C-alpha cells in the first residue's frame, strides 16, 4: 500500500482564534480559512452521551450569567470530570 506524503492543514479544535473552540462556528471557519479539516476530542458523559470537549475536566470553562456576573452554582461543576456529569448537567453550562 503506497504511503501518501501529502500534508494536511488541520484546525486544532476548529479556528479557535476566531470562534469558541469545538463549536460548529469554529469548525466552519477552519474550513473557510483553507483548512483541510479539523481535529476535536469526543468525551463520554456518565449517562453515555458523546460530547465534544478537549479537556476531560471543565476547569477552563468560565460560566457567566452576564458579561460581569459569574454563576457560582454552575462553576461548582467546573472541577468535575465530564465522565461524572450527565448530558443535562453539561448542557446547563454556558461557555
Domain that holds residue 69: 56-95
pLDDT of residue 45: 87
Q: Is residue 45 part of a domain?
A: no
What is the DSSP code string of 27-90? HHHHHHTT-SEEE--EEE-TTS-EEE-SSSB-TT---BSSSS-B-HHHHGGGGSBGGGS-HHHH
Answer whether 74's CB lies under 8 Å from 63's CB: yes
Picking from 19, 43, 41, 11, the residue whose alpha carbon sits closest to that of residue 95 is 19
Give me the number of domains the chain comprises.
Answer: 1
Active-site residue among 46, 54, 57, 80?
54
- 3-class DSSP state for residue 24? helix
Q: Is residue 70 part of a domain?
A: yes
Answer whether 79's CB lies under 8 Å from 85's CB: no
Give per-residue pLDDT as tens, 47-93.
999 888 776 666 555 444 444 444 444 444 444 577 888 888 878 76
Q: Is residue 40 part of a domain?
A: no
- pTM score over 0.75: no
Q: Is residue 82 part of a domain?
A: yes
pLDDT of residue 72: 41
Q: Is residue 60 part of a domain?
A: yes
Residue 54 is a catalytic residue = yes
Residue 12 is a catalytic residue = yes
Give per-residue pLDDT as tens, 6-44.
899 988 888 888 888 888 898 999 999 999 998 888 888
Q: Is residue 73 part of a domain?
A: yes
pLDDT of residue 44: 86
Amino acid at each position: 500500500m503506497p504511503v501518501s506524503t501529502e500534508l494536511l492543514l488541520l484546525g486544532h479544535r476548529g479556528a479557535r482564534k476566531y470562534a469558541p473552540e469545538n463549536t460548529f462556528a469554529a469548525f466552519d471557519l477552519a474550513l473557510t480559512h483553507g483548512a483541510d479539516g479539523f481535529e476535536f476530542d469526543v468525551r463520554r458523559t456518565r449517562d453515555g452521551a458523546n460530547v465534544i470537549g478537549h479537556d476531560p475536566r471543565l476547569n477552563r470553562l468560565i460560566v457567566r450569567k452576564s458579561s460581569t456576573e459569574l454563576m457560582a452554582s454552575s462553576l461548582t461543576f467546573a472541577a468535575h470530570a465530564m465522565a461524572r456529569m450527565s448530558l443535562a448537567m453539561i448542557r446547563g453550562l454556558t461557555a
